[in-house]
A = this chain, B = another copy of it.
Amino acid sequence: MSENLPKYLRVKQKIKDAIKDGTIVDKLPGERVLAKEFNVAYMTIRKALNELQEEGILHKTTTRGTFVSHRKMSPKTTNNIGFFLDSGIRQGISSPYYSLVFKALEKTVKKAGFNLLLFSDSEDMNPLKKQKKIDGVIVCCFPRLEKQIQEIKKFLPIVLLDNIASDKSIPSVTINNFNACSESVAYLISLGHKRIGFISGLLDSDVCNDRLNGYLDALYQHRIPEDDSLIFKGDYSYESGEKAAKYFLAMPGGAPTAIMCANDSMAIGAMKVIQENKLNIPADISVVGFDDIEVSARIFPALTTSAAPIEEIATEAVNMLFSSIKGTIIEYKHVILPAKLVIRESASRVKN
């Protein structure tokens, strides 16, 4: 339980808590006394107190002591919220999915009188460090930035989107990728499909692995043997969807009768290749996507896909972030929302 947090930060939190629950009201004991009380070195307690002073929670006067700053609204809030999007994410903020997320976040945040700031054009999270212009940040990134998240978390309220950090103390909002994918594949199976291809994303995140595992789970549930040659490793791009389709169409044993795609972009790419080969969707091959991006309903044939409840995701994430900003402890809170299968025209009963 003794977290890996530096001591002074833990002390700092304890003092914050003590102020909140009224244990400390006005004047704090002297630094030397506090050090004894918390059983840390003098310089350690000083570091904690100094940071609290920086934050405007305490104020100190030499020879008089340290006091709680009783100001209602801390004038420190910038009323800005940051949105950090991993630069490794395809197309960045112009990605059809994340632009929807961004839009929903802005809407939610605006309701509370806040503005939304975008951080998507950097390799790391350094721009967030020492950032005095935001009160908190919603982060969408790959596990590779996890260490940086830990750091940011120390001084900036943070909520994760889509991926869950292995440090489970950071609050997060995700969708149930496993269930959604499993459901989609089960749907295909219910249409009589047995040879079902899967186009995965980059397998470097929970999101991707969950979707793959959902696919595998559905096969397992219906006693369809797993076949590695039916799994194509994509990278979420249209191109990889095209590549995957070419691969499937060229399979010696014949193409699968259905293809499950880990996102809509790859589904669209795959559909293009299938159609270019004069095959009919869904009559010859069924295609199912994931994300329900705007265009999916508009192409021919309209794509059957899983829709994430983006508005809900945004609402949850923003609420959690605001709680965190207000100081309410919401560590360890993880919201998992269900995605919903939207049945359109791109999947149908298998030809016999």
Seen from chain A, the residues whose Cβ lies within 8 Å of a Cβ on chain B are 53-54, 56, 59, 78-80, 91-96, 99-100, 102-103, 106-107, 110, 115-122, 127, 130, 133, 238, 265, 268-269, 271-272, 275-276, 294-295, 297-302
Contact = CB atoms under 8 A, between A and B. Distances in A.
Given A80-B117, A116-B118, A118-B116, A294 B94 contact: yes
B121 A118 contact: no
Contacts of A238: 295, 297-298
Nearest to A103: B94
B130 A106 contact: no
A94 B92 contact: no
A133 to B, nearest CB: 7
B115 A119 contact: yes
Contacts of A275: 300
Contact of A106 (B99, B107, B120): B120
Contact of A299 (B106, B130, B272): B272
A269 B294 contact: no
Given A53-B130, A115-B117, A268-B298, 20 more contacts: A54-B130, A91-B294, A92-B103, A94-B96, A94-B99, A94-B100, A94-B102, A99-B99, A102-B118, A106-B121, A107-B121, A110-B127, A117-B118, A133-B133, A238-B295, A271-B299, A272-B298, A276-B300, A295-B295, A299-B299
Contacts of A53: 130
26 contacts: A54-B130, A80-B80, A91-B103, A92-B103, A93-B99, A93-B102, A93-B103, A94-B96, A94-B100, A94-B102, A95-B99, A96-B295, A106-B118, A106-B120, A110-B122, A115-B118, A116-B118, A117-B117, A268-B299, A269-B298, A271-B299, A271-B300, A272-B299, A272-B302, A276-B300, A276-B301
A79 B134 CA distance: 12
Residue of A95, A106, A122 with most partner-chain B CB within 10 A: A106
B294 A272 contact: no
**A-B complex: 9 closest residue pairs judged by Cβ atoms:** A275-B300, A99-B99, A94-B99, A238-B298, A272-B300, A94-B103, A110-B121, A94-B100, A93-B103
B79 A133 contact: yes
Contacts of A297: 238
A95 to B, nearest CB: 8
A201 B268 CA distance: 26
Residue of A119, A295, A302 with most partner-chain B CB within 10 A: A295
A47 to B, nearest CB: 11
Nearest to A134: B115
A22 to B, nearest CB: 25
B133 A80 contact: yes
Nearest to A56: B130
A341 B103 CA distance: 30
Contacts of A80: 80, 117, 133
